[in-house]
Amino acid sequence: MTAHAAISTNALTKHFGPVRALQDLDLEVARGEIFGYLGPNGAGKTTTIRLLLDFLRPTAGRSQVLGGSGADPAIRARIGYLPADLRIDPGYTAADLITFYGRLRGGHERGWVAGLLERFGLNPGRRVGELSTGNRRKVGIVAAVAHRPELLILDEPTSGLDPLLQHEFQLLIRELVADGATVLLSSHTLPEVEALADRVAILRKGRLAAVATVGELRHQARQRIDLYVAHRPRGADFADVPGIVQAQVVPAREASPQAGTLLRLVVQGSAAAAISAAAPLQVLRVVSHEPDLEEVFLRYYQPSPLEERDAVTEAGPRS
């Protein structure tokens, strides 16, 4: 494990009886980065966070947070945490909660907290039991960042927030990172992670499936390119062009005759070869659609052929 990393794990493993919630996790989050931690519900994301914070003890392996143990109160005071299942005593007000955590963490700047409450439209005197789900989430966000933490661990942070507040949350996270904070953003919502993260880890059934930058994942993604050309092509002409996964000439009734013949290409990686191959057809117009990152992530979540075989074997023959 690397001491200077914000988060480091080595073969971190957690079993609950026969259930392997997390298996041999080797992960490193650099200081100052926003690290996305992706996976469907049940993949092991929350288990990882609870191990990092010493809410759970590992079956095997170890972890390090800010150069020490998540069990150390001095380390905990430098961490902001927003759990997915935020539970607050309904009798507490937002001010009560922020004051309570402030005392645990050694205090916070009143002006900073007042600005956060105003920014998220929170009345600090209202009891949590009177608040909507979204407003309770906002209270949790403010409490997590009130002490300007070095490390912010967020588990499904924008659940229940409307799009405007999601945008405000993203601005806040970028500001904190610009001031030196590190963020571990755990989510199963792809657009949220894609908008913020420098790198992402993809967790699948308790195991690490991939770690990559968002740019590297985009390179794996397939994008659709619509080429309007003056001369009618044949889809087969593009079968051997590097990067082209699919080529289709769209029927005239679906394209505009004035705009030329529509050639629809699905490309993985660079589109340079595809554009060059289409040049002799006299390209009149190019419409490029954003790469579909969701398709890349779903690919990691699909069962492998071996798992499908084992599932069929366990199920036995159908009657």
- Cα–Cα distances (Å) from 226 to 85, 234, 244, 249, in that order, read 44, 14, 13, 10
pLDDT at position 312: 43
Question: Which class is domain 7-217?
Answer: alpha beta
pLDDT at position 181: 97
pLDDT at position 310: 47
| Cα–Cα distance, 89 to 162 (Å, whole number) | 24
Please check whether residue 65 is in contact with residue 151, taking contact to mean a CB–CB distance below 8 angstroms: yes
Q: Which residues of 75-97 are buried (b: 16+ CB within 10 A; e: fewer)?
A: bbebbbbbbbebebeeebbbbbb
pLDDT at position 252: 57
Flag residues of the chain having pLDDT under 50: 305-315, 317-319
pLDDT digits (tens, 9 = 90+) for 301-314: 665 544 444 444 44
pLDDT at position 130: 92
Q: Do domains 7-217 and 222-290 have the same CATH topology?
A: no
pLDDT digits (tens, 9 = 90+) for 117-126: 999 999 999 9
Structure tokens at 197: 């993260």
| Cα–Cα distance, 78 to 149 (Å, whole number) | 5
For the segment(s) 222-290, the CATH number from 3.20.20, 1.25.40, 2.40.10, 3.30.70 is 3.30.70
Query: The whole model's pTM is what?
Result: 0.76
Residue spans of the domains in the chain: they are 7-217, 222-290
**Which of these, 65, 42, 45, 67, lies nearest to 53 by C-alpha position?**
65
pLDDT digits (tens, 9 = 90+) for 42-56: 889 999 999 999 999
Q: Which residues of 200-239 are buried (b: 16+ CB within 10 A; e: fewer)?
A: bbbbbbbebbbeeebeebbebbbbbbbbbbeeebeeeebe
pLDDT at position 255: 55
